[in-house]
Structure 1
Amino acid sequence: MQSSSYKLSVLLVTYNHEKYIRQALDALFKQVLDGPIELVIADDGSSDCTLEILKEYEGRDDRFVFNYLEFKGNLGITKNYQRSFAACSGEYVAVLEGDDYWCSPLKLARQVEFLDNHWECSLCSVNYLVYEEDRSAFTPRIPAGTSFKLVGARDLIADNLVGNFSTCMYRKSDLDNLPAALFDIRSYDWIVNICIARTSLIGFLEEPMSVYRLHSKGVWTQTSHVNQLKIQLEVIPAYDALTHHVFHYEFEVLASRLRHVIASSQVESAVDAVVQPVVRALPGFIDYMPNFVMRFLRAVMPDRFKRILLKALYRDVS
């Protein structure tokens, strides 16, 4: 393995994150870990004050050596990660996206310790909290624990437990071995981590130590749930080919599940559109409906339609 003066590189990926970047940097500087730590900043052409705020923080903590990647035009998410991974020189690489933050000061130290002691793992991830900004609500990805899980590529295809880049710390040598073709297709953390796990395992620490933020300006958040599923379904053939069909069965099972959920969601949306114009009149109408009619409707109405009707009633009738 190529020697490096850095045990750890932190890859900070930003794009118009002025509203959130201070919280990300404050949490980064609270990490309990000796330096020097390389901080690689991959900004993809922010038009707000993100870079100015980053400059304010430079020099505040002498453990961190700032390395700004040169901006050569907007690259998009996939290509920005390709050049960013290549630019990191540490033995390990931890990723932090500029609108997320770490909620435990021991996150990096525990991940470094884990990778030092688990040669079978090329990636250490952590449990995380999903923060819904519009509701000010936090939800853990899985119930908090104190131990760890070992996750393989097949597990990750069935359930993307890792969830987002900001939970991840990689061995740099394994990032260097990612297939070049990965960056020629639409690639996010999920397929990157599947490729990482082709020849090793992923360690997942059960304590929540990172926060994944859902907000109105997020690229993924702006996409409707059904469209998110369609995007995932569309890329499965390319991901299957990229992994040389080793996981073809798992991808096929996932594709079948996605098609079912998409179809069900579209049926519910169509029925919901029909139900809405009359839903406000239903409470008064039901009051005068004979009991035998109600019993008949309950007997013959499909469960899916019952759920849609009840959901509409509770949502729209005060």
Structure 2
Amino acid sequence: MKICVIMSTYNGEKYINQQLDSIFRNERNYEIELYVRDDGSKDRTIEYLRNYGIKHAVPIEVNEGENVGSAESFLMALRECPKAEYYAFCDQDDVWIDGKLSAAAEQIGTTNQPVLWCSDYQVTDSDLHVMISSVLKQPVQDSVRAVFYNNVPGCTMVFNWALMQELRKVNISNIRMHDIMAINVALITGKVIFDKTPYVLYRQHGNNVLGYSHKKIQIGKWIKEKLELIRNKEDYSTAEYARAVLNVFENQMNESEKKEYELITKMNSGLISRLKVLTRPYTKDKFGRTSISIRFKILLNLM
């Protein structure tokens, strides 16, 4: 059975060899293929990838592309990667702990039901010294809430071909993040399995595009980021995303889900619609950087 590891790279030469080592030593009972979409790297990332594949005689397919950002790059990779029984999202700078892929594949099994597996993870510094030994206590289990709040990073996710087929039905080009769509669609069409074992060393360093440290509240930095966001709104639209999901999966939703998705699709239409969304329980979370940012973006139509 094949597991296709999906990676988006961008100027990742500093840490990528460690991640590649951890991928290809991770599993001997499955055929592992790495599919990479490079997001316009200016360093030697592509050279490192190709040389690694030749040196270690492992299958690495590299697709060079223009810089479109992490979310769109992963979305492209998701739609272009080859067929496999299982898929795993992968970041360029983390390290996987041995046994991740076999644990995921065995727990997912050979079912035709769409299944997404995820694990706990450990936050480390740039030298892989563990700073937080366990982060994820329970993944989000509400498909509507998952549109706004996803606590499962893509680097912990493994899913089956059945879910891949459902993900490819969503007709949208700009999304907030690929991992949000993955768990969102899994919750609508199938199920999510959570393994409490930490299988990923989630490296934090000065060049992270996204990461755990981005969840911390730093007032000055937060205000600066939001002023920049007001000036330059991000490309994705949560309302458009909700409409795309509703168009495909409406018949698999219960009446309550459909009602809430319909409400979300109207977020761009005016302040009253956004205020209605803000009253819903799925847009509320405990006080913190993420909850403040989400509600701010909803109110000002920035997401």
TM-score, normalised to structure 1, is: 0.65
Equivalent residue in structure 2 for 1:98, among 57, 80, 92:
92
Structure 1 residue 77 displacement after superposition: 2.2
Distance change (3 Å), C-alpha of 1:256 and 1:113: closer
Structure 1 residue 210 displacement after superposition: 0.8
Question: 1:244-264: CA deviations, max 9, x gaps?
Answer: 36344897324344899539x
Secondary structure of 1:196's partner?
helix
Query: Do the aligned partners of 1:124 and 1:168 also contact (CA within 8 Å) in 2?
Result: yes
Equivalent residue in structure 2 for 1:68, among 62, 75, 84:
62
Distance change (3 Å), C-alpha of 1:35 and 1:136: closer
Query: Do the aligned partners of 1:123 and 1:196 also contact (CA within 8 Å) in 2?
Result: yes
Question: 1:61-116: CA deviations, max 9, x gaps?
Answer: 44x322122x24223223322331122221211121101221x2110011111111
Secondary structure of 1:41's partner?
strand
Query: 1:8 & 1:135 partners in 2: Cα distance?
Result: 26
**Match of residue 56 from structure 1:** 51
Higher Rg of the two aligned structures: 1
Query: 2:116 & 2:160 partners in 1: Cα distance?
Result: 6
Query: 2:49 & 2:8 partners in 1: Cα distance?
Result: 12
In structure 1, list runs of 5 or more residues that go unmatched.
Answer: 1-5, 267-318
Query: 2:149 & 2:239 partners in 1: Cα distance?
Result: 18
**Match of residue 255 from structure 1:** 283
Q: How does 1:208-227 map to 2 (within 5 A)?
A: 208-221=198-211, 225=217, 226=222
Query: 1:82 & 1:156 partners in 2: Cα distance?
Result: 17
**Match of residue 270 from structure 1:** none
| Letter in structure 1 aligned against 2:103 | R
Query: Do the aligned partners of 2:8 and 2:70 also contact (CA within 8 Å) in 1?
Result: no
| Letter in structure 1 aligned against 2:108 | L
Give the fraction of aligned pairs with identical amino acids, expressed as a percent. Answer: 22
Equivalent residue in structure 1 for 2:179, among 179, 183, 189:
189
Question: 1:150-209: CA deviations, max 9, x gaps?
Answer: 9452574586342x1111112233223224434334333123321232111111111000
Query: 1:117 & 1:209 partners in 2: Cα distance?
Result: 22
**Match of residue 83 from structure 2:** 89
Equivalent residue in structure 1 for 2:161, among 172, 177, 183:
172
Query: 1:175 & 1:213 partners in 2: Cα distance?
Result: 27
Query: Do the aligned partners of 1:128 and 1:208 also contact (CA within 8 Å) in 2?
Result: yes
Which range is displaced more, 221-230 or 185-194?
Answer: 221-230
Query: Do the aligned partners of 2:115 and 2:186 also contact (CA within 8 Å) in 1?
Result: yes
Query: 1:238 & 1:157 partners in 2: Cα distance?
Result: 12
Distance change (3 Å), C-alpha of 1:22 and 1:72: closer
Query: Do the aligned partners of 1:29 and 1:61 also contact (CA within 8 Å) in 2?
Result: no
Counterpart check, 1:23 vs 2:18: yes
Distance change (3 Å), C-alpha of 1:76 and 1:149: closer
Query: 1:181 & 1:124 partners in 2: Cα distance?
Result: 23
Query: Do the aligned partners of 2:119 and 2:194 also contact (CA within 8 Å) in 1?
Result: yes
In structure 2, list runs of 5 or more residues that go unmatched.
Answer: 247-256, 265-276, 297-303
TM-score, normalised to structure 2, is: 0.68
| Letter in structure 1 aligned against 2:119 | V
